[in-house]
Structure 1
Amino acid sequence: MSCREYTITLQDVAVQLWLLMDGEPLTRSLKYNWKVIYEDFLGVVPPDMKGQWLSLPWLAEQFEEFSPDADVVSVQRYARAYIMQLIGGFLFVDKSNTLVHCMFLQFIFDFDQAGTYA
């Protein structure tokens, strides 16, 4: 087959990344006060917000050292920051490779619910 006849399907991606295709879609409103979302979900607010985008280098800098005596809320915030870095750095990379869209943060607030998405 020539190159023009190939296309990547959702099934190809699901098989290669071992992702489930039978779950809830990621659909929600994007009209949020992102500063409040950052404060609630991550515990910090970026100094220079870029609309609905979060800087991956800033995120890595904020969550680089994990305290051994961290409480449950801190552990969850570090987990969310790590997941956001995976999403922005590997799964949904933008052209700059330094930003991740904030819409994903709302889907990893409740870790029990996060496993139900496709």
Structure 2
Amino acid sequence: MRRVYHHFGGLQLQLGLPVDGSVLTGSIQFADWGAICYDLLGANPDNIYGGRIEIGWLRDTFSKPVNDSNEVEIIRYARAYILEIIGGYLMLDLSQNLVHLRWLLKLVDFRTADELS
């Protein structure tokens, strides 16, 4: 697949993100967000507000992995960290302290993440 890069508000230039891949956004009719968090992060947030969680919960719950962390812990930390970046810098919520969990669904398999636009 030939990848074409366009300048999109500087984002592609800064992060090297493709703008011709599968669409990243979409609507979700129903999801058990607590179960999704537990499956992908190994923890349930105290509060879920319409599919959104507090960015501070991510920071407080997932500390940086240590040398003896196993692969599952590292993957969970990476998901939480990427979710924090998405919510804090890339896709800001009007509240500026919440991130929607729909982005977590894009972090199930890191090998497919580069196919997203």
* TM-score of the aligned structures, taking structure 2 as reference length: 0.83
Paired amino acid for 1:51 = G
- Using the aligned pairs only, state the percent identity: 37
Alignment: residue pair count: 110
Correspondence for 1:42:
41
Structure possessing the higher radius of gyration over alpha carbons: 1
> 1:54 Cα deviation (Å)?
1.1
Correspondence for 1:12:
9
Q: Distance in 2 between matches of 1:84 and 1:39?
A: 15
**CA spacing shift, 1:20–1:50, aligned 2, 3 Å:** same
> 1:107 Cα deviation (Å)?
0.4
Segments of structure 1 that go 5 or more residues without pairing to the other structure are 1-9
Which 10-residue stretch deviates more, 38-47 or 27-36?
27-36
Segments of structure 2 that go 5 or more residues without pairing to the other structure are 1-6
Correspondence for 2:112:
113
> 1:66 Cα deviation (Å)?
2.2
Residue 86 of structure 2 contacts residue 92 of structure 2 at CA under 8 Å; is this kept in 1? yes
Q: Distance in 2 between matches of 1:63 and 1:17?
A: 24
Are 1:24 and 2:31 an aligned pair? no
* TM-score of the aligned structures, taking structure 1 as reference length: 0.83
